[in-house]
Amino acid sequence: MIQQKSPHSETLKVGDVVDGTVEQIVPYGVFVRLENGKRAMIHISELSKGYVKKVEDVMELNQKVKAKVIKIDERGRIDLSIKKLQEERVRPARASSPAEDFEKKLASFLKESEQRIMDLNKKSREGKGSRGRGKK
């Protein structure tokens, strides 16, 4: 007998983006029924990039959601994040490469460091000069 793969046996992994429907709203988040039949939770802190005072302010029953899998524990419980998905959509707008960003940060750091060293040396010379005059 050939065993067919059921949609419930679909394996999810951290990083996957999934679609689902809000099935239950609780004070600490929402429970979502995924398209594969599994149940997942989105904690209130993962609902939005902004502060969420009440879950009902941003979610409603039967609302369709798209979220990223951020954790699957040893018992198979799935944690999702809408916020992480929103953050990923913002990132690609950057025009510079990581190497260019590093070069800019390094140049800025070196410039600031040199200025601080010069300031410290100047204070050190001024401090020695005033002490030296008082002893004569």
Query: Is residue 40 predicted with pLDDT exceeding 50?
Result: yes
User: How many C-beta neighbours within 10 Å does residue 33 have?
Assistant: 15
**Interval 61-89: pLDDT, tens:** 999 999 999 999 999 999 999 999 888 77
Q: How many helices (H) and strands (E) does the chain have?
A: 2, 5
81 & 24 share domain: yes
Flag whether 2 is in a domain.
no
16 & 75 share domain: yes
| CA-to-CA separations, 125 to 86, 104, 118, 135, 136, in angstroms, rounded | 53, 32, 11, 16, 17
Mean of the per-residue pLDDT values for the chain? 82
Task: Give the side-chain half-sphere CA count within 13 A for 126.
Answer: 6
66 & 131 share domain: no
44 & 87 share domain: yes
Domain count, the chain: 2
Flag whether 22 is in a domain.
yes
76 & 28 share domain: yes
98 & 88 share domain: no
126 & 87 share domain: no
Per-residue buried b or exposed e for 36-62, using 16+ beta carbons within 10 Å of the residue's own CB: bebebbbbbebbeeeebeebeeebeee
125 & 58 share domain: no
Flag whether 120 is in a domain.
yes
Q: Which domain holds residue 108?
A: 94-135
pTM: 0.59
Average pLDDT of 20-33? 96
75 & 108 share domain: no
